[in-house]
Amino acid sequence: MFFKKKRVFDTELISLHIPKTAGTSFRHMLKEVYGDDQVVRFDINEKGIARLNQQIYEETKLPSVKVIHGHFSFTDITSMAYDQQSVKMITWLRNPVSRVISNYFYLEQRLKDLLDEEKNQLNILSKMQRSLMEYARAEVNRNRQSKFLRGADMDAFDFIGIQEDFDRDIIALAGALGWSDLPPVLHHNKTKSERHKLSSDILEEIRDLNKDDVQWYHNVLKMRGKNIEDYA
């Protein structure tokens, strides 16, 4: 979804990165296209604390670079000073069940790597380990895509990519944005899928816990003439 806009603002592109939707891979591609110094990581957490390239950012305006990419809600980013008529807004979605599962196992692996229990002779993980379903049922982990998108509808974005179609969608996006060359598609922070090991009851419960995300995902696929069943 693209609209022709006359650019009158330093920033050309705002990329809203929902966790585990190929955002890290996309950020690296953006740096290849726009230059490392013109793409910043900008995050706003649940408490409203902003970080620019992981450093506290206390300005009320967005940084003056071509591309702003990071974890922030649509409401948070649009409340800051930027020209909505001149900046393209994009995001990526993923099958909600797969996204929850991927996020859980990614965090589990990160924790293992940070603790390095065997090397440090620790026994923390076995004491504090949460199961996938304990993680999935926690309110903070439910409908995370919808929480990032709260306050927006599909027309608020110039492009909504589908993570499962990343390689194909990136070509369409590159053409729409006028990229002269398509950088190589490299997948970062890719978590090994564990979905095939899970029962249908678990998959169905995760789906039910994320009904708002499922609706967003369904609507975008429907707009493209596709069915959600093909992306299970």
Q: What is the pLDDT of residue 191?
A: 61
Check whether 18 has a pLDDT greater than 70: yes
Tell me the C-alpha distance between 51 and 44, whole Å: 6
Burial of 16 (0-12, 13-18, 19+ CB in 10 A): buried
Q: What is the pLDDT of residue 121?
A: 57
Give the pLDDT mean for 127-144: 87
Q: Which residue has the higher pLDDT, 193 or 149?
A: 149
Domain boundaries, the chain: 13-231
Write out pLDDT tens, residues 193-209: 667 689 999 999 999 99
Average pLDDT, rounded, for the chain: 86
**Is residue 90 within 8 Å of 160, Cβ to Cβ?**
yes
Tell me the C-alpha distance between 67 and 34, whole Å: 8
Candidates 133, 124, 82, 74; CA nearest to 104 is 133
Check whether 109 has a pLDDT greater than 90: no
Of all residues in the chain, what percent carry a pLDDT higher than 70? 82
Write out pLDDT tens, residues 47-71: 999 999 999 999 888 888 999 999 9
Fold classification of 13-231 (topology level): Rossmann fold (3.40.50)
* Distances, alpha carbon 46 to alpha carbons 63, 144, 164, in Å: 20, 12, 27
Write out pLDDT tens, residues 20-35: 998 888 999 999 999 9
> Which amino acid does the sequence have at 83?
D
Where are the alpha helices (H) located in 48-180, listed in sequence order? Answer: 74-79, 96-115, 117-120, 125-128, 132-137, 144-149, 166-177
Burial of 165 (0-12, 13-18, 19+ CB in 10 A): middle
Check whether 2 has a pLDDT greater than 90: no
Q: Both tokens of residue 187?
A: 């997948």
* Distances, alpha carbon 209 to alpha carbons 21, 97, 98, 106, 143, in Å: 18, 9, 13, 20, 7
Give the pLDDT mean for 144-173: 95
Tell me the C-alpha distance between 226 and 223, whole Å: 8
* Distances, alpha carbon 200 to alpha carbons 141, 156, 195, 205, 212, in Å: 20, 35, 10, 9, 20
pTM for this predicted structure: 0.85
Check whether 91 has a pLDDT greater than 90: yes
Give the angle 158-74-163 at the CA atoms, nearest 5°: 60
Of 124-128, 206-210, 214-218, 221-225, the range with the lowest mean pLDDT is 124-128
Check whether 17 has a pLDDT greater than 60: yes
Check whether 226 has a pLDDT greater than 50: yes
